[in-house]
Structures are given as C-alpha cells and as structure tokens.
A and B are shown apart, each in its own frame.
Chain A
Amino acid sequence: MGTVIVGAVLLGVVAIIIRKLVRDKKSGKSLQCGVDCRNCGGHCER
C-alpha cells in the first residue's frame, strides 16, 4: 500500500514538473536557466 501511495505521489510530482517544463518551453522560457526570466530580462522569450 505504501509503495502505491508513494509511487503515485512521485508520479504526480514528475507529471507536474514535466507539464511545467513543457508549458514554460511553449511560452518561450528557457528550461535550464532556472525557468525564471527575471534575471536576464526574458532574453529567451524572443
């Protein structure tokens, strides 16, 4: 039971991360530079 619960939570976390990365990528943000364009003024949004 513990395996199912923890596995489901982990899968959920991974799904959320992938969804966020894909969304950020689609909106033009960089995946790797922290997905935070405030530092570089959104350079990668071009």
Chain B
Amino acid sequence: MAIKIALAGNPNSGKTTLFNALTGSNQFVGNWPGVTVEKKEGKLKGNKNVVITDLPGIYSLSPYTLEEVVARNYLINERPDAILNIVDGTNLERNLYLSTQLMELGIPVIMAVNMMDVVDKNGDRIYTDKLSKKLGCEVVEISALKGTGIQKAAEKAVAVANSKNVTVPVHTFAPEVESVLDAVEAKLGSNIDDNQKRFFAIKLLEKDDKISTQMKSVPDVTKEIDEIETKMDDDTESIITNERYVYISSIIDECSTKNSKGKLTISDKIDRIVTNRFLALPIFALVMFIVYYVSVTTVGTWVTDWTNDGLFGESWRFFGTDVPGIPMLIGNLLDAIGVAPWLEGLILDGIVAGVGAVLGFVPQMLVLFIFLGFLEGCGYMARVAFIMDRIFRKFGLSGKSFIPMLIGSGCGVPGIMASRTIENERDRRMTIMTTTFIPCGAKLPIIGLIAGALFNGAPWVAPSAYFVGIAAIICSGIILKKTKLFAGDPAPFVMELPAYHLPTVGNVLRSMWERGWSFIKKAGTIILLSTIFVWFTSYFGWIDGKFRMLDVLELDHSILAKIGNVFAWVFTPLGWGDWRSAVAAITGLVAKENVVGTFGILYGFAEVGEEGNEIWGSLAGSMTQIAAYSFLVFNLLCAPCFAAMGAIKREMNSTKWFWTAVGYQTILAYVVSLCVYQVGTFITTGKFGAGMVAAIILIIGFIYLLVRPYKESTTFNVKLKGASQSK
C-alpha cells in the first residue's frame, strides 16, 4: 500500500514549491498566501510508492474558511502516514502555533524549516537540534526554492511513516487545563481513536462548532468548560491559545536568535514606497500600464507580427532563406494531392484561418504571462491586494477579493474557485460576480485584435482593457453593496505580506508555459471544433432557393448569417449590429478566443496583427473605432465562457444566484458598451439620436445607483400566525 505524506503548514510557507520539487509537478506557485485552495496529490520522485499531498495553507486547526476545512478534514479523516510540517524560518514564532496542533493529531510529524537561505542571509540563527528536542519531532533545514535539504526531509518523512511512531506532544498545558482535558478525553469513549483523543478534547474545549461533524457522538462538556473558565477567568479558546503562545515564546528564545531585530528589511523599505498612501495607486496603475503596453503593443506585437505575417502568412525568412508560411505549405500540399475545393476551403478558410488567428496571439499572451508570473512570484501582487483593500473597503469589499481577481487574470475558472478563501458569504458571492471582469488570458486576443487592427496599435487601448475591468469591479461593488442582497460591513482583511524575493527564472517560465500551453491545447481542441462549425455554417447557405457552398463574397446568404441576423439587431445600439460581429460575440461564450477565430474565418484571416490592415480593412469597414471599442468592452464584461459559467454555478451552489450573476454581467456589459458607443459617436460626429437619449438616461441611472445613500433598515417585519403584521 502506498505511503501517504501530507505537506501542512502556514499559507505562503513554500508547500507548493516543495511539492513541485519532490514530485516533479508544475503546480502554480505564487508569493502570496492562499494560492492553494484544494489539496493536490503527486508521487515522490524516485519512489512511486509514496504519495505526497499538498494541502492548502492554514494558520491553525480551527478552520474559518473553506480551504482551511479541506486541510483539517484531510488530516483528521484521511489520516496520512506522516505529516511534513513546512515552517517558514523567517516567521518561526507564528508558524509554530500550527505545529503544536499538528503534533496533537496522533500522526508522525517531521518538521522542515523552510527558507533557511533567507534566514542565513539575514544573519539570523535557528538551532534545529534544540528545536527538535523541545518539540519532540525531527527537524530538517530546507530551502524549497533552492532545492537544498528537501531530499533529506522526504527521506525522513518516509522513514517516520514506515516506523509508524506517532509523535507525542511534548508540550503540556497548565495543570488545571490538563485535568479538564483528561476528563473530556474520558468522555470521548471508544468512538475516537486513542491517538486522536487529545486533539478532539482540545477542540471540544475550544467550542469548535465544526468539530462535531467529524464525530459520531458529541459528549456534553459544558461542565468542564464552565469549570476552567471560572478558574482561569477567560474563555477556553483564549486560554488554550494563550498557553500555546507562552510555550512557543519559551522555545523561540532558546532555539533562535535574530540579527535584525528592530531594523528595516529591504522588503520594509520597498513597501514604504509601493504601499505608500499616496504613491501606491499611481505605482500600481503604472505597473499594469507597462505590463499591458509591453505585452500587447510592443514586444508581444513584434513576435505576434512575425507569427501572423510570417508563420501564418505567406512566408518568413530563416537565415536568409524564404520559408513558406503554414497556409501556403498546407495549400500547396492540398493542391498537389488533388483535394476537393470544399475540403481545401474547410482546412484553409476554416481551420487554418480560425485556429491560426487565435494562435497568432500566443506570443503576446506569453509575454503577458511572463510579467504576471514575475509580479506574482516577487511578492508585489500581495501588496496590490493590500493596496486595493483601502479602495475595496470603501464600497464594501475587502482586499481578499482581489486575490481571485489576480488569479483570474490567467483563467477565470481558478479565479472564481479562489473566492473560497473569503469567509463572508455575501462578499464571496459579490467577488464571484465580479472576478471575470478582469481580462483573462483568453480575452487577450480580442484586446490584441482591437488594439492592433482597429486602433493601429494605440498604446492606451490594451492597458485600458485592464482598467475597464477594475472600474467595473469598483462600480459594481458600490452599486451592489447598496442592495439588500449584499448590504453589510466587509469582513476584516488580515494578510501577511511576504518578503520580496526575485523569483527563479524557472518558476516564471514554468508559470508562463503552464498558462500558455493550456491556451494552445484549447486552440487544438475546442477552438478547432468551433472553427469547423463556424466554417460550415458560414460557407454553406441558400442562394436562389438552392443549398450550396458559397463564395467568400456570398457569405451574407450563409446559415450563420441567417442565425446572426436574428439577434444582430440587439447589438445595433452598441454600434456593431452586423451579423458577423454578433456571431463572433456569441461564439465567444464557448471560449473567448473564438471571437478572434470567428472573425478570422468571416473576414478571411491572413494577418490579424497590427499590420493586418489589408484583410482587416473589411472588419474596420464594418465598424468604427468607437464601435470596435464598444465591442471590446462588451466582450470584456459580458458573461464569461461556459467553463467559467460552470464554475460560477458550482461556487454559487444556487441556480438563482447563478442567473443573477450571469444576468448582471451581461446587462452591465450591454449598458456600458451602449454608453461608450453612443457618447463616443456623439463626441466624434455630433450625432444625437434615440440611442444617445437612452445613453443619457442610463448614465443618470448609473450615477444615481452609485451615489444614492445606503439606507440601513430601521424596521423589522415579522409575520405572526393568527395576528396582523407586526413591526
């Protein structure tokens, strides 16, 4: 039978980095607490009989959030053969709080003190031999990032798991507490394993309301609780917490020395600037502007242009030689083997045009993912959550809501899932509703297309997409918080700011590749199937009552045109009531990349990049720049792809809330796009029509919803049986 080893520790202590190093996995690593919200399993490299489980980070075994429940329930119910407790060496005191609890679980424990490279660099010392004696378990020094000591830690964990020697807690509480614990343990009976009795007894004394779900029968310990609370004049949870910290303090003094007490670290000095009350937001805005500008408009575009004009164009130069582009190569091959025109059309005008249009944006996406990987890895994004807390709090959300949005910049699905770290159900729902406003990787091709083909690479377009998302979140927060559904104070936000460190090149590249590869795989599966559907429905139709394959100039008679024309009028007030744009937006519901893929087919893809004016001239001719921006805004804010909608449904766990979220997103997208188009058109052309009147009404309504005072209910209505309504 396989040996199970669980990695447990505080958030951001390096569990996932260690997990990746031990198992060879590529799990996502970020330098902020709460990256892992679900347990992950992998086999130990070199010993496939050992299964390692990476648990979400927890501060204690008293869970408050969903992912903390995941970690505790795993340790109690699955009972791994050993726990490898990862402790952040730079924050020893706080990390040992969880360690003292893990040792009460009746499972063999090995402690790995991580970030020893940073501890040494700071000139601090941790005497692991003394720590081992004091705690009653083996202690190993490691640096998960540098890979030092990790093999030794794994070997020791396997050895202790094989020995089945349960770690017995060395620490004891005050005699009064111990005698009460003995009494509670006696009440637990045979339902609880002997090794776990101490843990359950402590949890019962702490009045942990979730522990009863893990027990077959819950003994009444009210008498014991009253006894100890009277004796020690405090509540039991505080008594036990205090006892633990007294014990930890005594260990810390003997087992470690700090060189830098009272001095400002480099991280502190950087934080003085980047989290400064006045500078924080401008710095954040500048950073994100640079990230999107460089990714979409400069470096990313150079490579994307080569991909679109060369690789997916006519030809590209390789060491002075002209190499034909992929469409040319495939076209020549199909001609040579005498393939029927319809099949050649399907492959070239459908699959190559659609998938190629999407793949053309991979370079831009990879550059963006490098930036995001770096910002996440170095610790800056954790500061952004702190900075955003100040703004979010004003409209009723906490900085914790920014973490899902941060993750959502890669893919909306894990972003929505990350909302589990939010304890307050109201805030969690609001975060789920707003997370997908942040442009995910799949929306980047739409941004790149609009910025490049319709705005000639104007530097403001791509960054503005990110800020539109942020603005939508803030405005939604203000508006929704004033409704009965979301009213209430935001939950307090406490988050430790990890020390800055330069992420390894390997980690940044891995983060980029993992995200990028997912995108490429999607292009080869769901996007490819979609392009076949779009090609067939757009290149076949009825002309003079006869169903046949259509020429590129006859696409207005296609099946897709007929379908698109049914609902295209809905988008006319937004400036893109053409059936092609309407269909592109709708196919984006399958996957957002489909928007570009569909345009690729309908406008005959050759060059979708910045320089693609020749082919995209027909696209540019079908909509003005204002309409194009309205199209971009709609696709950024409207209901996300089906995968993300599925995630919303799962996380909301309610059909009503699911439809509320999707409906809100779509209505907001429609209203904002309409206002962008109507007001933009009025400013640029002076046209004033019914659409502009509607836009003015909507803007006034929007401003009213933003500024209307929040009224706390002063009456409480209750319906009593057999009585008239009471107040």
Contacts and interface: CB of A to CB of B under 8 A. Distances in A.
Contact of A2 (B338, B346, B514, B644): B338
Given A18-B529, A34-B517, A3 B646 contact: no
Nearest to B56: A41
B164 interface: no
Contacts of A21: 525-526, 529
Chain A, interface size category, equals 20 to 34
A18 B40 CA distance: 27
A3 B529 contact: no
A14 B535 CA distance: 15
B417 interface: yes
Contacts of B37: 41, 43
Contacts of B338: 1-3
Contacts of A5: 337
B413 A30 contact: yes
A32 B347 contact: no
Contacts of A10: 343, 346-347
Contacts of A20: 525
Contacts of B339: 2-3, 6
Contacts of B40: 41-42
Nearest to A40: B414
B622 interface: no
Interface string B330-352: 00001001111001001100000
A30 B643 contact: yes
B102 interface: no
A36 B413 CA distance: 11
A33 to B, nearest CB: 4
Main secondary structure of the interface of B (DSSP, over half): helix
Interface string A8-46: 001001100110110000000011111110111111101
Contact of B522 (A6, A14, A32, A42): A32
Contacts of A44: 413, 417, 643, 646-647, 650
Contacts of A36: 514, 517-518, 521
Interface string B6-47: 000000000000000000011110000000111010000000
Contacts of B407: 40
A33 B339 CA distance: 34
Interface string B493-532: 0000000000000000000001101110110111011001
A46 B647 CA distance: 10
B587 to A, nearest CB: 12
Contact of A42 (B38, B521, B528, B529): B38
Contact of B641 (A6, A32, A40, A42): A32
Contacts of B529: 14, 17-18, 21
B28 A35 contact: no
B337 A43 contact: no
B640 to A, nearest CB: 10
Contact of A43 (B38, B410, B641): B38
8 contacts: A1-B338, A6-B334, A6-B337, A17-B529, A38-B25, A40-B417, A41-B40, A44-B650
Given A7-B343, A32-B643, A40-B407, 12 more contacts: A1-B338, A3-B338, A6-B347, A10-B346, A30-B413, A33-B414, A35-B521, A40-B413, A41-B27, A41-B28, A43-B38, A44-B646
Closest 4 CB pairs of A and B: A34-B518, A40-B414, A32-B643, A2-B337
